[in-house]
Amino acid sequence: MAVISKPSNTIYTEALNYAELLRESDNDPHSLAHMILYLAERNRKLEHIAQSAKAYIQFGQDQQLHANLVKAIEKFEDYEVEAETMEEPRFGL
């Protein structure tokens, strides 16, 4: 897969807002909006893990930083379990 350039914050926000609009209007026939929203949240949690790991390693493996890293990993794992077991929401009447 080719490297894709990172979108600007404006483009990222606009894409997420549009994806939410498509999901709310039940107008997502190919589930692209669903995928964007799922991956955006997943990415947010993974970025938190990366930041926590970097701080843990950079600042001498402090116990509190280790606890923060473990919590970030647990939140990610909980999200994945919830996302896999969650029923699709029904929009509309």
Packed helices 63-85 and 32-58: angle between N→C axes, nearest 10 degrees: 160
Residue 60's pLDDT is what? Answer: 81
3-state SS assignment for residue 24? helix
Once rounded to an integer, what is the mean pLDDT over residues 24-30? 91
Average pLDDT of the chain? 89
CA 75, 78, 82, 84 torsion: positive or negative?
A: positive
CA 19, 35, 81, 75 torsion: positive or negative?
A: negative
Q: Could you tell me which residue, 58 or 91, shows the higher pLDDT?
A: 58
> For residue 40, what are its two tokens?
């955006």
- Using a pLDDT cut of 90, give the percent of the chain over it: 68
pLDDT band of residue 93 (cuts 50, 70, 90) is very low
Once rounded to an integer, what is the mean pLDDT over residues 76-85? 90
With a cut of 70, say whether residue 50 has pLDDT above it: yes
